[in-house]
């Protein structure tokens, strides 16, 4: 442990932030966190005052407005505005108060829709984006450029990582705004409980996605924070993807659902494929530990416990 280390996890109630708190807690890193009612990250004066008072030495910027394909396509203004404001405020306060290192979380959707697969970090800004999440992606790209610019102009050490699609305990299971894995867990669980004969899966089932358990992501973030400096991006993924149709089959098996899967072509497919090239991350000495099926089993168990406690 570094003497006088104090780590601010921004967004500690979210999927990523809560996993970071669990992971840093294992190393007994001194943490500082604030819930939204205590600190509005969209408010520049409040963010500056918080940094001046708490003086964190390191920051993990995991606070973000995130959502699945439909939420992104429906509320693009919210996605671009919130993510830009939070990033602007946190980076400026971190620079102003002399934070020694900051980890900025981007997303694999920053890469062009037709990027080479697997996608190397060098594909950034080489082509048009996927329209369903363009607003979110542009906010995230602005964040990368902010980190790079601050490093260049002020000599900060703001590191940017690009996680692939994530899942795990603490995810958003709301069917209108969630990503695909929590949506499928909920749909198959509810259909299993009520013995419904079919479950609807959005799109054609052919788009391919890569999925990483959020505990692996948190471990990778801490590893990158400790072993990487400067403005070169680092992709964080597991290096494998599968079609959504196959994912749906796997979730059905894990849940124990025996009915049929139907594909709803009125819903968007989004980008055909986004598999990250994880060569750079592997060269830093990190590898994932949680295979998809085991991660799904754990997440289904967590969801069922949570639904029961919630009385749902
Ligand atoms: P994306 O990776 O940004 O496209 O985000 P999502 O996780 O929302 O969607 C991934 C893929 O899963 C897309 O092709 C969706 O159409 C598909 N999908 C299938 N069923 C669902 C569902 O019930 N909810 C969501 N969010 N996506 C679904």
Averaged pLDDT for residues 41-60: 98
Do the Cβ atoms of 257 and 199 come closer than 8 Å?
A: yes
What confidence category does residue 4 fall into, taking pLDDT thresholds of 50, 70 and 90?
Answer: confident
What confidence category does residue 308 fall into, taking pLDDT thresholds of 50, 70 and 90?
Answer: confident
Question: Which one-letter DSSP state was computed for residue 288?
Answer: -
Per-residue model confidence (pLDDT) at position 3: 59
pLDDT tens track for 102-146: 999 999 999 999 999 999 999 999 999 999 999 999 999 999 999
**Measured in angstroms, how far is the CA atom of residue 264 from the centroid of ligand 1?**
11
- Identify the active-site residue in 136, 150, 167, 303: 136
Is any ligand 1 atom within 6 A of the Cβ of residue 207?
yes
- pLDDT of 285 > 80? The answer is yes
Q: How far apart are CA 93 and CA 146, in angstroms?
A: 13
Q: How far apart are CA 228 and CA 159, in angstroms?
A: 8
The pTM (predicted TM-score) of the whole model is 0.96
Residue 108, phi then psi, degrees to nearest 5: -70, -15
- pLDDT of 57 > 80? The answer is yes
- pLDDT of 310 > 80? The answer is no
Averaged pLDDT for residues 213-226: 98
Averaged pLDDT for residues 294-306: 97
What confidence category does residue 225 fall into, taking pLDDT thresholds of 50, 70 and 90?
Answer: very high
Per-residue model confidence (pLDDT) at position 239: 96
Averaged pLDDT for residues 229-257: 98
Per-residue model confidence (pLDDT) at position 113: 95
Treating both helix axes as pointing N-terminal to C-terminal, what angle do 244-255 and 180-193 enclose, rounded to 10 degrees? Answer: 40
Averaged pLDDT for residues 206-220: 98
pLDDT tens track for 76-104: 999 999 999 999 999 999 999 999 999 99
Averaged pLDDT for residues 206-211: 98
- The separation between CA 276 and the C-alpha centre of its own chain, rounded to angstroms, equals 14
Residue 161 host element (H or E): strand 158-163
Q: Whose CA is nearest to atom 9 of ligand 1?
A: 180
- pLDDT of 164 > 60? The answer is yes
Residue 111 designated active-site: no
Q: How far apart are CA 173 and CA 241, in angstroms?
A: 22
Residue 181 host element (H or E): helix 180-193
Per-residue model confidence (pLDDT) at position 19: 98
**Measured in angstroms, how far is the CA atom of residue 179 from the centroid of ligand 1?**
6
Q: Whose CA is nearest to atom 12 of ligand 1?
A: 180
Q: How far apart are CA 130 and CA 142, in angstroms?
A: 16
Q: Whose CA is nearest to atom 19 of ligand 1?
A: 202
Per-residue model confidence (pLDDT) at position 2: 54
Per-residue model confidence (pLDDT) at position 307: 87
Domain 7-169+210-240+273-291 has CATH 2.60.40.10: no
What's the chain's average pLDDT? 96
Do the Cβ atoms of 39 and 52 come closer than 8 Å?
A: no
What confidence category does residue 312 fall into, taking pLDDT thresholds of 50, 70 and 90?
Answer: very low
Is any ligand 1 atom within 6 A of the Cβ of residue 267?
yes
Q: How far apart are CA 175 and CA 74, in angstroms?
A: 14
Q: How far apart are CA 96 and CA 48, in angstroms?
A: 8
């Amino acid at each position: 442990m570094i003497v006088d280390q104090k780590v601010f996890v921004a967004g500690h109630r979210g999927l990523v932030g809560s996993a970071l708190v669990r992971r840093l807690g294992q190393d007994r890193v001194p943490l500082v966190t604030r819930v939204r009612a205590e600190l509005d990250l969209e408010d520049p004066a409040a963010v500056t005052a918080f940094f001046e008072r708490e003086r964190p030495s390191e920051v993990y910027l995991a606070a973000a407005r995130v959502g699945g394909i439909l939420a992104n396509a429906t509320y693009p203004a919210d996605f671009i505005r919130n993510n830009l404001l939070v990033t602007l405020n946190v980076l400026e306060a971190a620079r102003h108060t002399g934070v020694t290192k900051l980890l900025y979380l981007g997303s694999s959707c920053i890469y062009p829709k037709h990027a080479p697969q697997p996608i190397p970090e060098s594909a950034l800004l080489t082509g048009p984006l996927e329209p369903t999440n363009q607003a979110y992606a542009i906010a995230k790209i602005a964040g990368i450029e902010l980190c790079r610019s601050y490093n260049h102009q002020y000599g900060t050490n703001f590191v940017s990582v690009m996680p692939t699609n994530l899942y795990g305990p603490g995810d958003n299971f709301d069917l209108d705004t969630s990503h695909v894995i929590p949506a499928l867990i909920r749909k198959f669980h509810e259909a299993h409980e009520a013995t419904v004969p079919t479950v609807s899966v959005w799109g054609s089932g052919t788009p391919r996605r890569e999925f990483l358990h959020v505990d692996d992501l948190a471990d990778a973030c801490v590893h990158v924070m400790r072993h990487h400096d400067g403005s070169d991006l680092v992709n964080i993924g597991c290096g494998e993807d599968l079609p959504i149709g196959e994912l749906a089959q796997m979730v059905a098996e894990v849940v124990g659902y025996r009915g049929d899967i139907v594909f709803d072509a009125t819903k968007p497919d989004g980008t055909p494929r986004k598999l990250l090239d994880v060569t750079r991350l592997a060269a830093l000495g990190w590898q994932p530990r949680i295979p998809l099926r085991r991660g799904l089993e754990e997440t289904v168990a967590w969801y069922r416990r949570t639904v029961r406690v919630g009385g749902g």
